[in-house]
């Protein structure tokens, strides 16, 4: 089940939201059942894998509170090996990857690691642990939440009218990002990437790269917005996952703004334990290389994902070695530089394989023209309009809008009417279009 489906919007969400209001102290149990149903809707038998992960990590968490010394170390290692073993099996050997596996596996890992380190206490209630790992708003594509940041809300929370209102508004904005922007641009990007690479000209290659760059941002940040909004509607505060990353002034800054929860996870559980930046420049570079190799592999087993990770890592290292000082001299140049590097990286990310990605980039950087590749063949007026709106909406409008105007807009009747229009347009689009899943569901 996906957020941008009629089943979720018109059936699942209303029933679960209203039902949760009447469950009282059984709210966690009700939401856990709803979350398992949400997952089972698309993965009927693989929900057993999710249940196994819940029981495994709940048991390991309890065991860590009762054991000491070597037995405790062995228990933690066993839990990590089991979690990563399941993830690696499906990612590197299976033909079909269970949706959301990487996300809920990383949440499970952070749960047992934090218990081992003493950063949080294990839950004695399997329902609470199950809800943490499987809560449906962020089950499939994050954000990745740490148990210590949400355990109190799981144990006790209240639903306030203002939070429900803000959550519903945030959900609509995210839905609009997905349905009205990402899906339209994705259709154009898919059309262009499907062309024989030898027929592409420079203009078409750039349009394909730009439309995918915007698609993946609006697709993923739209999901995150919906997750944050749904969390508020049920009394939870889910952390932000994006902060206008395409306005970053360096690749280092980009990774502090893009998929924030994943970057935080790798920083806390991999980069810092390896020594972070505390052991000299050479060791810092090695640590960064390892983190970005793992980041690439987290996204997929194909070599192109590893190259994508190393591509970003190389520029972060260059920035640490002095490039950042040059970038700081000009805001415009630094933003353009970062956006250009990110676009090139997304080409490798989107391509079928490494060679296809390199061939596509060559079409972008080597001048070429094909009179038969007319713009109208892959971009109609609607797509051009959405493309322009997407460029303005990735942070430009927010940066140019005066603070007083923002205050007048937030919570106003005009904003409410705007949200209603967005919702109606989304529902009309969903009724007319075919199934179009979120990009990050495959991870």
User: CA 81 to CA 86: how far, in whole Å?
Assistant: 8
pLDDT digits over 56-111, tens only?
Answer: 999 999 999 998 889 999 999 999 999 999 999 988 886 777 888 999 999 999 99
CB burial class (10 A; 0-12, 13-18, 19+) of residue 100?
A: buried
pLDDT for the residue 127: 96
For the chain, the structural domain boundaries read 6-157, 163-249+329-432, 259-327
Please state at what angle helix 101-117 crosses helix 69-92, rounded to 10 degrees: 170
For residues 117-122, average pLDDT? 92
The answer to whether 19 and 90 have CB atoms below 8 angstroms apart is: no
CA distance 398 to 400: 6
pLDDT in tens, 127-153: 999 999 999 999 888 799 999 999 999
Residues forming the active site: 299
Closest CA to 168 of 3, 41, 393: 3
Q: Which residues contact 361 (CB under 8 A, 6 or more apart)?
A: 344, 347, 348
- Confidence bin at 434 (pLDDT 50/70/90): low
pLDDT at 443 over 60: no
Whole-angstrom distance, CA of residue 145 vs CA of residue 128? 14
Average pLDDT, the chain: 90
The span from the CA of 20 to the CA of 18, in Å, is 5
Contact by Cβ (8 Å): 118, 66: no
Token pair 């040059």: residue: 326
- pLDDT tens digits, one per residue of 352-392: 888 888 999 999 988 777 766 667 677 888 999 999 999 99
């Amino acid at each position: 089940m996906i957020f941008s489906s009629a089943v979720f919007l018109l059936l699942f969400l209303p029933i679960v939201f209203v039902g949760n209001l009447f469950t009282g102290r059984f709210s966690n149990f009700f939401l856990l059942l709803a979350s398992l149903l949400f997952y089972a809707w698309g993965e009927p038998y693989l929900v057993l894998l999710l249940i196994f992960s819940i029981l495994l990590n709940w048991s390991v968490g309890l065991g860590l509170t009762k054991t000491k010394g070597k037995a405790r170390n062995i228990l933690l290692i066993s839990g990590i090996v089991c979690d990563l073993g399941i993830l690696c099996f499906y990612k590197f050997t299976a033909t079909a990857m269970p949706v959301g596996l990487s996300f809920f596996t990383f949440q499970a890992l952070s749960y047992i690691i934090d218990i081992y380190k003493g950063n949080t206490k294990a839950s004695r209630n399997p329902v609470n642990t199950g809800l943490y790992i499987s809560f449906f708003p962020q089950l499939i594509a994050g954000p990745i939440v740490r148990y210590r940041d949400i355990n109190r809300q799981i144990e006790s929370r209240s639903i306030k009218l203002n939070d429900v209102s803000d959550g519903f508004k945030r959900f609509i904005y995210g839905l609009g990002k997905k349905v009205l922007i990402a899906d339209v641009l994705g259709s154009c990007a898919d059309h262009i990437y499907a062309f024989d690479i030898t027929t592409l000209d420079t203009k078409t290659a750039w349009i394909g790269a730009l439309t995918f760059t915007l698609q993946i941002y609006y697709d993923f940040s739209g999901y995150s917005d919906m997750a944050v909004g749904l969390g508020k509607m049920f009394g939870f505060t889910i952390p932000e996952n994006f902060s206008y990353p395409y306005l970053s002034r360096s690749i280092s800054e980009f990774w502090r703004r893009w998929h924030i929860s994943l970057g935080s996870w790798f920083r806390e559980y991999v980069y810092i334990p390896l020594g972070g930046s505390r052991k000299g420049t050479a060791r810092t570079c090695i640590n960064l290389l390892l983190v970005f190799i793992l980041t690439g592999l987290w996204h997929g087993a194909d070599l192109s994902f590893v190259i994508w990770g190393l591509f970003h890592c190389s520029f972060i290292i260059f920035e640490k070695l002095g490039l950042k000082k040059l970038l700081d001299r000009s805001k415009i140049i630094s933003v353009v530089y970062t956006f250009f590097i990110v676009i090139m990286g997304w080409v490798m990310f989107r391509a079928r394989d490494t060679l296809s990605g390199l061939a596509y980039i060559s079409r972008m950087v080597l001048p070429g023209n094909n009179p038969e590749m007319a713009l109208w063949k892959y971009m109609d007026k609607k797509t051009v309009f959405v493309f322009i709106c997407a460029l303005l909406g990735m942070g430009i409008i927010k940066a140019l809008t005066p603070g007083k105007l923002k205050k007048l807009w937030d919570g106003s009747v005009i904003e409410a009417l705007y949200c209603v229009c967005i919702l109606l347009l989304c529902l009309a689009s969903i009724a007319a279009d075919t199934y179009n899943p979120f990009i990050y569901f495959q991870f």
